[in-house]
Structure 1
């Protein structure tokens, strides 16, 4: 099943009007390079988890305007016949550079770089931002939740609160990359091979004359996968005791209850009491599942209070990317080279000035594998230990690269001439990459509050180029008076 056959009309109208203008002015065949990046780490955190690359590449490789697409644009009455003819033959034949999915990334460094004719590189802006922004944000949220839940595990429960069916599918995929290695979403299970997990709802219990009868009926239907929701009436007075009765009956038939689920109340207290009751009854292996509007801060609180939860079902806050500093990643897509000349956006706010030209992204790594610093260099550069590098947000600040480091290139060419260069690895490979790289971050980077600020720097040569282009741009402004 192809989950990612997106329409060529998955774009903002202004991408098409610009494209038509470039076509009319004879500019559409000139070469252009765009960088996709974000300016602030989400959730006021210390990192992000890159996700969405494979869907983005599938979109690019399949991009074309159908007869119905062209007819719709013709009916808008905005576009000339010659341009519509151009769209009929349009394909993406450009080059893409990106990190592998599951890579830990940071603000202000290039993630995707798209190079090709201006027409193709410009048109794909909106769709790429849509795909990469959302999946990177979800993967980051999942990684934050998983990091505080350990050694407990996280199940993605967010479909019913996700932003539409496609949002639910994309969210389950990205959450897996971030560390939630199972989902309640059976469509995501079919499409991506993600393990699916689930229990039953309160309505199951309410549909029977009593709670015990409901539990017995569920155990009869699913003796090998029996997880019982114990909070419909009274968790400790009836729910857990009835689950223990059914667990004994099921054991007598050669099966075991796998778990109980808590979906309301003081989860730290209830999980401790439930654990005590289950252990005393001889069921230390029954897992305790918790749900109910969980996120990383709630889970951290449960664990801090000595809660005994084994599995966290996280739904709303993961699917909607809730939390302070969440909601949207804020990725942008900026022109950095056009017609063989480096370009940059100049602004009075140096933090929003872009980094021009083709670039490489390098990661300085200690001998023990720990990450130290990311360095953005020009395409033909390679960083050297001991070299001076500069803060892109405040170029007056500089530092020297430690002398004992090696360098890993973060990105590679993943598409050339519109063709995907290698098959996508499985989601498990991406999730493993994320888990390993999280462990390589400097101490404190994954803290939920006041995290360590991982440094991203630009090389001296890139600093000089940006400064020179900014100076020339200012000189070309009306009313400019030299110093």
Structure 2
């Protein structure tokens, strides 16, 4: 496509593209936006070296003039985006890119890969963390443990990053810990225990190796007859040395039944401080069910169903042309489809969040040049069922898209991961529990401004085929 624009002498034409998604994953009511830091990294490093140019030349598809243009390629456009950790909804632009079409078109696949993947995993992690928070008493931490089940190493590393944004307190992925300063947590595997002459020998060796972070895996042979008994022996030996066993982990079997029995045995031994970690194909539904059953679990190791977003393995975000330069002016553009949900919102846009008394009331997608007087009431209406209307008063408004790149220069200071997670928490606090609930959530209103709605209707009318 870049070469086609070049051949047609249209590669300098300015355009605007939006990144957005159409449906919330996992039946959720919202998405946690993530992946912007990797978009920035990509734009910063985006260039064509001699190795890449030699490969492209070898394909026999491109002219030398085009390859010379690529040799000097640098992104020169504008990028606006919602900060990572922002709570977002279907059809809202998460990223808006403006610049020469040859540059902006190139960004599509990489930008979608970064935003789609991490937003999906951050959202799944938030669902799982929210499920763990339903336990009585202190909220048990969720640890991301999906390295071995991710689609590849990169997916595991960036997935761990997204999971931390979504609320996980640590990861078993040491590379992710190094790259993003995520707390690293983990325990032994069954092979560790099998490799020693006895389970007790394995436990003692592990406690000696990690005296301040000992979590013993007790289901290699028999949880109640062997594992917990040997764990108690080691715990008492550690107490004699002035140390404490941090916890035991159960990775198979009836987790509710076993955890309650293990808790009773530990308490009877005076080891009330020892925690119980559960793993074994957990997700938000299994965790909620275990809590309902009274499982005595204090923390959760979640792997496969988190790192792959097992029930919804793709977010389905898209990158659509919404405006293009014609005769020196930026002209709105619309994609028309027989599938109503695939008709795009045209024009260069912004996203506004209206809050009333500290609570999110509605989001509005508006044309970028529009202004709103917060001293006056504002009528909002459903863009499909237009008779559904409401008037808001005494509201505050936040513009969600912020400048990241202007004329090819980075103007945005990337926050650290802990600040991003705090942004998630403060964002969630704006919404009602009905919107945040994990099943059949109340639909949060995302409306179109009157000007945008009228523009969309006009363009649809202009592009409607003549009647037969």
Deviating runs (4+, > 4 A) in structure 1? none
SS of aligned partner of 1:174 = helix
Other-structure match for 1:49: 32
1:335 corresponds to 2:325: no
Task: Quote the residue 1:133 is aligned against.
Answer: 116
- Between the aligned partners of 1:435 and 1:278, the Cα distance in structure 2 is 35
Deviation at 1:217, TM superposition (A): 1.5
Relative distance call for 1:351 and 1:235 in structure 2 (3 A) is: same
Residue 47 (structure 1) shift? 0.6
TM-score, normalised via structure 2 length: 0.95
CA distance in 2, matches of 1:443, 1:107: 19
Q: Is the 8 A contact 1:360 1:409 kept in 2?
A: yes
- 1:422 CA displacement: 2.9
Tell me, yes or no, if structure 1 residue 452 matches structure 2 residue 459: no
Q: 1:390 Cα shift?
A: 3.5
Q: Which position in structure 1 is the counterpart of 2:338?
A: 348
Are 1:97 and 2:80 matched, yes or no? yes
In the TM superposition, 1:227-242 aligns within 5 A as: 227-242=215-230
Q: CA deviation at 1:262?
A: 0.7
8 Å Cα contact 1:31/1:117 also seen in 2: yes
Paired with 1:271 and 1:286, the residues of 2 have a C-alpha distance of 12
On the 8 A contact 2:282/2:303 being kept in 1, the answer is yes
Name the CA distance, whole Å, in 2 between partners of 1:134 and 1:401: 37
Q: Cα RMSD over matched residues?
A: 1.4
Deviation at 1:26, TM superposition (A): 1.0
In 2, the alpha carbon distance for the partners of 1:142 and 1:40 equals 18
Query: Offset of 1:207 from its aligned partner?
Result: 1.2
The match for 2:145 is 157
Corresponding residue of 1:28: 11
Give the stretch that moved more between structures: 287-296 or 348-357. 348-357
- Counterpart of 1:198 (choices 173, 186, 196) is 186
Paired residues in the alignment total: 457
Distance 1:397 1:159 in 2: 49
Q: Is the 8 A contact 2:203 2:230 kept in 1?
A: yes
Instruction: Summarize deviations over 1:345-399 as a string: whole Å, max 9, x none.
Output: 11233321111111111111121x221211111112234564333434x253542
Residue 136 of structure 2 corresponds to: none
CA distance in 1, matches of 2:185, 2:160: 12
1:65: how far off? 0.9
Matched, 1:122 2:105: yes
Q: CA deviation at 1:452?
A: 1.3
Query: Which sections of structure 1, spanning at least 5 residues, go unmatched?
Result: 1-17
- Correspondence for 2:163 among 161, 164, 175: 175
Pick closer, same or farther for the CA change 1:410–1:401 going to 2, 3 Å.
farther
Matched with 1:391 is: 382
Deviation at 1:249, TM superposition (A): 0.5
Shift of 1:423: 2.8
Per-residue CA distance 1:100-123 (angstroms, 9 max, x = gap)? 101111111111000011111111
**Following the alignment from structure 1 to structure 2, what is the Cα–Cα distance between the partners of residues 250 and 160?**
31
- Mapping of residues 76-95 of structure 1, within 5 Å: 76-95=59-78
Contact persistence 1:395–1:463 (CA under 8 A): no
Distance in 1 between residues matched to 2:217 and 2:141, nearest whole Å: 18
Q: Secondary structure at the match of 1:114?
A: strand
Candidates 252, 260, 265, aligned match of 1:264: 252
For structure 1, which segment, 415-424 or 39-48, has the greater mean C-alpha deviation from structure 2 after superposition?
A: 415-424
Question: What CA distance in whole angstroms lies between the structure 2 residues aligned with 1:439 and 1:147?
Answer: 13
Deviations 1:195-240 (A, max 9, x none): 1001101111111222112111211221111110011111112111
Match of 1:377 among 359, 363, 366: 366
1:70: which partner in 2?
53
Q: Which moved more, 1:400-409 or 1:422-431?
A: 400-409
Q: Any residues of structure 2 matched to 1:217-256 within 5 Å, and which?
A: 217-256=205-244
> What is the rounded CA distance, in whole Å, between the counterparts of 2:371 and 2:288 in structure 1?
41
TM-score by length of 1: 0.92
Equivalent residue number for residue 15 of structure 1: none
Q: Give the corresponding residue for 2:425.
A: 435
CA distance 1:249–1:425, change in 2 (3 Å): same
- Distance in 1 between residues matched to 2:7 and 2:161, nearest whole Å: 41
Which residue of 464, 468, 483 maps to 2:458? 468
